[in-house]
Structure 1
Amino acid sequence: MIYQRINFSRVFLVICCLLASTGLFAQTARYAIMPRPAKLEERTGTFTLPKKASITIEKGDAGLRLVAGQLADQLAKATGQRPTVTVSSTPKRQGIHFAMDRNGSLAKEGYTLAVSPDRILVTASQPEGFFYGMQSLLQLMPVEVFSPKPITSVRWTVPCCQIDDQPRYSYRGLHLDVSRHFFPIEFIKKYIDLIALHKQNVFHWHLTDDQGWRIEIKKHPKLTELGSVRKQTMIGRYGDNKYDKTPYGGFYTQEQIRDVVRYAQERFVTVIPEIEMPGHAMALLAAYPELGSNPDKIVPVGTKWGVFEDVMFPRKETFRVLEDVLTEVMTLFPSQYIHIGGDECPKTQWRESRFCQELMRKEGLKDEHELQSYFIRHMDKFITSKGRRMIGWDEILEGGLSPNATVMSWRGTEGGVAAARQGHDAIMTPGGFCYLDHYQADPKTQPIAIGGFTTLEKSYGYEPTSDSLKAEQAKHILGVQGNLWSEYIISPEYAEYMVWPRAIALAEVGWTSKNRKDVEDFKKRLDVHKKRLDYMNVNYFGAPINGKFTYQMPTATADKK
């Protein structure tokens, strides 16, 4: 009899687990918000958007009006009816109301979202919080709300709930390399739209490298006249050593850049520019060879991928040109941070240079790593004098870290941990988790990529703050960023295929506390979210529209490598 009761208990437990699992799926589908909120309390009932919907805001703040207008615009696209936006301290029945946080409990990017059958109430202390509350509200609505044209057959409802939300990290970024392959302004704006949709707040724009200089600098026009065009481009895998024999180029005018920065600001995305130095400099040296090892040397804009020996030399002339460049860059980008690269700088030319060796003796530098630190410190001092802060890849730790530098840790996590222990801020972007140019499935079935293997699950499982850090040190981990290097990314569709949905996983890593993360729950929400991306015409990995585009596919020979 006891034995039978034990068996019955086990059966009952299994049934309960199955029911709980089914309930979780239903809740996940109903509340498929990306990234997962800090707290979501499910409630019964739904709010139905009336045909003549209204949005009220408590005050005429420009930022708040902007967000309310964006919500009205999106609802107008999808429903065919644009809600009215008015200033009122009293919420309207069957309306959406934006209320200011009166007790000061909400952080800058925090918000609460209360949905009842009678009204929707979004509360925040700053426009950023209202913007993220709006993103969650849209994701609670039917997926058709992301349609670019009206859909009249949908019943526009929102499930009742109470959400209390704020991000885990202050820095939540996504990077794009436009040097190896150039991307049009329309795509840059779409990229920013998707960054904002997933509550990320930084667009890291990699504007210069060996293979092309992509930003107009009026004081030094040769940078784009000569440095923005390479004579040919590698095709296929690196080991094939094949080229298309076709000139390739492009750059952004200063007016285009201002337009992108304004566009991003309206979506609470900060654009951080990157100007590479002292390595990855062939495009610059093609225009101004006197800034390198030999003023008479002809340095071509890079046509291969990889690392090259031609680098900038730490001369007064070099610093003067770079200061000119950064001065114009800082007039275009109001971001607190300016990224100066600092990675993968070969030291051979410095080692073989009489000028560099004499400079090292004069400055008491023991090796070429300290000479690089000397170079970076000079630029850090200049950037700091302009009221900005410098970011560099983790190689800037070598030879001694510049006083005000923030480290972007890409060669694993060690650089970020070391910087935090030294009291420096760090942004985590280790290649094994955050490099979106890596393969995401069996390479034999995928378009050509640079290498590596990073699945959606691996990106989602990343933990930016090491347990080895003490509490005070851990505060220096600002956040996390996904990176897309474009050696093999030849088109916007190709870029979307590589970025999404892994960047969504990283968005949740940056926003959601680690005790709220659950990969299976994430995948269920993602199944719903993909339908939103379909309406936005995003060519994510596995999207229905993948087949419409041509990719560089592996050859039979390459498959054997």
Structure 2
Amino acid sequence: MTISTVPAPVSAVSGGPGFVLRPDTPLSAAPGCEREAAWWRRTVGPATGCAFPPGAGGVTLRLDPGRPHEGYALRVGPSGVDLAGGSPAGVFRGLQTLRQLLPPAALRRAAVAAGPWPLPGVRIADAPRFAWRGVLLDVARHFLPPADVLRFVDLAAFHQLNVLHLHLTDDQGWRLPVPGWPRLTTVGAWRASSSLGDWRHGRDDGRPHGGAYSEDDLREIVAYAAERHITVVPEVDLPGHMQAAIAAYPELGNGLAADPRVRTAWGIATQVLNVSDTALGFCRDVLDQVCALFPGDYVGIGGDECPKDEWRASPAAQERMRALGLPDEDALQSWFLGRVAEHLASRGRRVYGWDEILEGGAPPGATVAAWRGPGPAVLAARAGHDVVACPDTAVYLDYRQSADPGEPTPVGTELTLADVYAFDPVPPGLPPELTPRVIGAQANVWTEHMESARRIDYMAFPRLCAFAEVAWGTGGDYAGFAARLGAHLARLDALGVEYRPLDGPRPWHARPDAPGRPRSRAERLAEVAEMTANLDGA
């Protein structure tokens, strides 16, 4: 029998008699595995009718400190299931694989079949290549209700991902409550309308859009993810992508904006934070709230796409540059981000920022999300920074999936399932001694053109399945992946994922009212080369 799990395990040997789960099949959880056992019971039990009472002779969960942290060994035979993980996280990864070995009906939330539930005979030894296997979910452009975020967490966990990068703020919306700054969510969380398609077409839907999370919403998301061994990395993008905050508190801006509202069009606003002590105090208040709600080591501060027009025109910004002896506005941004990084360091947190933070010099110890091709990844590693590879031409899942005119709002380069699978997080040209600096990879789900969980499903899957296998480290055989994908799509069906059909979009997927802006790969690569020409990583 071929093992059709996604991602594929590092080593799998199938054959021999398997094991059948029945309503009375016991489950034994060694100390340290109790939480994983509870997750298995409440997740698998409703569809299978299996209660998994405590006891020996059925499913055994245990720890093996000799294995990698997220590694596991899984053996299924006539005497039962034995799963040993290097940590509770390793046990959980093994349970996800075990879950995929069951018939798809076992993945549903209630019983649709009576069972029994056969598991094939198999011996698996597995561990990930990368420590950071992430996916960004942009809830700023289109607000996603908490229940939909939790569902997305489950789908990420099902594919062995372990980081959820939650993009909470942008020009078009602010989703994070901050004590002392109530207008961030009463004003900054709402926009009057949204672009229909690419903003350059000038179309508008005329409908208000917005929403914000409560503190308890965010605590729930963090706790829910932690139960699935996923770390939530929050991002508050600064000093650019701040029009929503400036709409709420105009004193944070440079006083030069023609339109003080939350941005209604996609694209990049020229409104940015000023560089006053007031703005820095605002950033510290925001980041204190982030640290209070998100216990992980990393905090995303953005640092990307910050136009310097307002700073060049602002007497206050120019005076700040002179007082600090800074040569240009890139250095001013570097200084600003350095103060932010110092504050986060005082809270025991690490900066996570887009590769623009290299311009003028990235804060010491920052981890760089390299999105503009392999060049910034190499420069960041050479400058001593950890790198998460997420180039837009490989893993931006808002990009169109084919040249079919029925693709909804086709933007960016064509990024097929095979293109995503061909991605290697370690960039060419990186010296072997620096490859450990590439701590992982991340796929990004930007939601300008994804107004609902249904649209996210279509754009993310099955491309996120391909990415998950690359990030786990068992990619390289697209034909093998494609052969396994048919069985995996049946699992997605059972999980209720409305993925893009492999043979192309259906009529209801099209968005003729929301035209896009397709780009050729050559055009985009030339654009990226120009954007990063002066990047020196200093």
TM-score under structure 1 length normalisation:
0.89
**Residue matched to 1:47:** 19
Equivalences for residues 448-487 of structure 1 within 5 A: 448-487=409-448
User: Is 1:99 aligned with 2:62?
Assistant: yes
Equivalences for residues 326-405 of structure 1 within 5 A: 326-405=287-366
Deviation at 1:161, TM superposition (A): 1.4
Contact 1:202/1:270 (8 A) holds in 2: yes
1:453 match: secondary structure: coil
Contact 1:68/1:85 (8 A) holds in 2: no
Q: Which runs of 5+ in 1 are unaligned?
A: 1-26, 87-91
**Residue matched to 1:536:** 495
Letter in 1 for 2:492: L
Provide closer, same or farther for how the CA distance between residues 228 and 122 of structure 1 changes in structure 2, counting only shifts above 3 A: same
Contact 1:289/1:297 (8 A) holds in 2: no
- Spell out, residue by residue over 1:486-535, the C-alpha distance to the aligned partner (whole angstroms, 9 max, x if none): 11111110011000111111111111245xx3111111111101111101
**Residue matched to 2:7:** 35
Contact 1:289/1:295 (8 A) holds in 2: no
**Residue matched to 1:66:** 35
Contact 2:63/2:91 (8 A) holds in 1: no
Cα distance in 1 between the residues matched to 2:47 and 2:208: 42
Provide closer, same or farther for how the CA distance between residues 224 and 556 of structure 1 changes in structure 2, counting only shifts above 3 A: closer
2:261 match: secondary structure: coil
**Residue matched to 2:390:** 429
Equivalences for residues 252-263 of structure 1 within 5 A: 252-263=213-224
Structure 2 counterpart of 1:244, from 189, 194, 205:
205
2:128 match: secondary structure: coil
1:174 match: secondary structure: strand
**Residue matched to 2:533:** none
Contact 1:446/1:554 (8 A) holds in 2: no
Cα distance in 1 between the residues matched to 2:514 and 2:244: 31
- Spell out, residue by residue over 1:38-89, the C-alpha distance to the aligned partner (whole angstroms, 9 max, x if none): 1112232221223311110122x3xx11111221223312212311135xxx
Cα distance in 2 between the residues matched to 1:560 and 1:362: 43
Structure 2 counterpart of 1:518, from 477, 502, 509:
477
TM-score under structure 2 length normalisation:
0.92
Contact 1:74/1:145 (8 A) holds in 2: no
Deviation at 1:555, TM superposition (A): 7.3
Provide closer, same or farther for how the CA distance between residues 80 and 390 of structure 1 changes in structure 2, counting only shifts above 3 A: same
- Spell out, residue by residue over 1:423-458, the C-alpha distance to the aligned partner (whole angstroms, 9 max, x if none): 110100000001000001224121113332100101
Cα distance in 1 between the residues matched to 2:519 and 2:284: 48
- Spell out, residue by residue over 1:127-161, the C-alpha distance to the aligned partner (whole angstroms, 9 max, x if none): 10100010111111112110222133444111111
**Residue matched to 2:53:** 84
Deviation at 1:557, TM superposition (A): 11
Provide closer, same or farther for how the CA distance between residues 287 and 556 of structure 1 changes in structure 2, counting only shifts above 3 A: closer
Contact 1:112/1:122 (8 A) holds in 2: yes
Cα distance in 2 between the residues matched to 1:114 and 1:354: 69
Deviation at 1:297, TM superposition (A): 7.0
What is the alpha-carbon root mean square deviation over aligned residues? 2.2
Equivalences for residues 289-328 of structure 1 within 5 A: 289-294=250-255, 299-328=260-289
Letter in 2 for 1:328: Q
Provide closer, same or farther for how the CA distance between residues 298 and 512 of structure 1 changes in structure 2, counting only shifts above 3 A: closer
**Residue matched to 2:455:** 494
For the pair shown, which has the larger CA radius of gyration, 1 or 2? 1
Contact 1:56/1:97 (8 A) holds in 2: yes
**Residue matched to 2:526:** none
User: Is 1:148 aligned with 2:109?
Assistant: yes
**Residue matched to 1:121:** 82
Provide closer, same or farther for how the CA distance between residues 458 and 287 of structure 1 changes in structure 2, counting only shifts above 3 A: same
User: Is 1:177 aligned with 2:138?
Assistant: yes
Provide closer, same or farther for how the CA distance between residues 75 and 555 of structure 1 changes in structure 2, counting only shifts above 3 A: closer
Cα distance in 2 between the residues matched to 1:485 and 1:75: 32
Provide closer, same or farther for how the CA distance between residues 556 and 449 of structure 1 changes in structure 2, counting only shifts above 3 A: closer
Cα distance in 1 between the residues matched to 2:500 and 2:15: 34
Cα distance in 2 between the residues matched to 1:509 and 1:524: 16
Contact 2:412/2:518 (8 A) holds in 1: no
Deviation at 1:469, TM superposition (A): 2.1
- Spell out, residue by residue over 1:220-259, the C-alpha distance to the aligned partner (whole angstroms, 9 max, x if none): 1011111111111111443331212222211111111111
- Is 547-556 or 332-341 further displaced after alignment? 547-556
Contact 1:540/1:546 (8 A) holds in 2: no
Cα distance in 1 between the residues matched to 2:430 and 2:198: 40
Deviation at 1:218, TM superposition (A): 2.0
Provide closer, same or farther for how the CA distance between residues 308 and 558 of structure 1 changes in structure 2, counting only shifts above 3 A: closer
Contact 1:310/1:349 (8 A) holds in 2: yes
- Spell out, residue by residue over 1:359-410, the C-alpha distance to the aligned partner (whole angstroms, 9 max, x if none): 2222221111111111111111111110000011000000112112111011
2:207 match: secondary structure: coil
Cα distance in 1 between the residues matched to 2:518 and 2:27: 56
Provide closer, same or farther for how the CA distance between residues 320 and 242 of structure 1 changes in structure 2, counting only shifts above 3 A: same
Cα distance in 2 between the residues matched to 1:57 and 1:346: 55
After TM superposition, the runs of 4+ consecutive aligned structure 1 residues lying more than 3 A away are 151-155, 295-298, 543-551, 553-561
Cα distance in 1 between the residues matched to 2:5 and 2:39: 19
Letter in 2 for 1:48: V
Contact 2:194/2:204 (8 A) holds in 1: yes
Provide closer, same or farther for how the CA distance between residues 544 and 131 of structure 1 changes in structure 2, counting only shifts above 3 A: farther
Q: What is the aligned length?
A: 520
Deviation at 1:472, TM superposition (A): 3.0
1:85 match: secondary structure: coil
Cα distance in 2 between the residues matched to 1:177 and 1:556: 21
**Residue matched to 2:166:** 205
Deviation at 1:558, TM superposition (A): 8.7
Deviation at 1:462, TM superposition (A): 0.5
Cα distance in 2 between the residues matched to 1:467 and 1:326: 35
